[in-house]
A and B are shown apart, each in its own frame.
Chain A
Amino acid sequence: MSLWKLALLIALFNVMTFGNGPVMIPLLQTHLVEGSRVLTEDQLLYAFTIARVTPGQANFYVASVGYMLYGMPGAIATTLAIILPGYIMIPLLHGYEYLHGSRWIRGFTQGLTVTSVGLILAAVVEIARATLTQPIAWIVLPATLILTQLLKWNIFVTLAVVGCLGLLFRWLL
């Protein structure tokens, strides 16, 4: 896969998902991990983790994917690929009344959102099959869910705690 093709693919995925970071995961998984095998599941997961611990826009983890494949030029190209469609904002500011009133567009975006929930969960199953090969991983995953969702812990604290938990079990077993 050439740098150009990667940038075009990322640009396309980003536009299709309205720049929603998590929704891009199934697309990246199918095309870069399973399809052309330029990326491993581990690399994709690591890139996504970066998105969760950095400030700013949540779809910028594609820069990490770009860097893994092509170094700095890759990071810059993928970043530009997700930023430039933002300029559609300028014409939209003028044609807003028409678009806002359109129930078709609201239905379309609602359809995209709902579909992506199913797609993300399907990708989770795929990635889990490939990466959660060690039993300890099945302790860390639910622990993360409980800490972030039920106990509402901060993401950094959660990652530190489940990280230690994983290390502890690895040391014990």
Chain B
Amino acid sequence: MNDDYQAQSPEVAARFAKLRQRPVILDVKNLTKTFVSQGLEHTTLDRISFQVYRREFMCVLGPSGCGKSTLIRIIAGLDSPTSGEVLLDGHQVSGPGPDRGMVFQGYTLFPWLTVKKNVMFGLRMAGQGAATAESEAREWISLVGLSKFENSYPHQLSGGMKQRVAIARALANRPRILLMDEPFGALDAQTRAQMQSYLLEIWKNVDVTILFITHDLDEAVYLSDRILVLGTNPRRISEMIEDPVPRPRDRSQFVSPPFLATYHRLGELIHPPAADVQDRLPITRMTMVGDDVE
């Protein structure tokens, strides 16, 4: 059972063979991040190395506190590593830039700009004229299905709509890679499922590579080509899993054997079985009719 997730159907194996042929877009080399707090040195990331191929969809999965947000922030250039380097198309990254679009977990649309002006923001920063930026922004807004709301302000949109605008805004800059830091984490389960399908649609139609952070196992298996699992102790890569679920994906695959095998393996990596016993709570019995519940 444990090895099932490594068994790939011929089509899936062929997909991965093709994927590995593609050029490397993002090359993370020996990334280490430490910080000092109360005189003690803490390691957030310990010698992390991996590569992302062009047009790949990679999920970074890990328990909370494993440093996945730090990792993506370093790649975005918002934080700097203690040692190691990040190469984008072979060039070292220093500081944030429009070649790495980012979608944050919190809503970061500019509240004073309409949807259209939000999407135009990056284009205007790049020096485009108002007219071209506007027509280009309109295309991206229609790509995420929000044309009716182009003149609305962010506070008039629902959470899912806001994140769709944020995706359009990041994509409008034509980034080499789209970094997504738990972008659907604040959404309810239904909207979240819808957003996952939207994202796969968008990824299929737009030439972009995606690095997606999540702590949700389903989400990782549903979206990924490969899943990078980070551990907490040590803070290194636990495993790089090739997702065996064939594409195109749909929600009926959630009960298919490759999906379940991968899900099971991720569960083992993220919640080691021993933790279950340690976490038992010292609850005294406080009910007389509790015998029926189990």
Say whether A and B bind each other. Answer: no
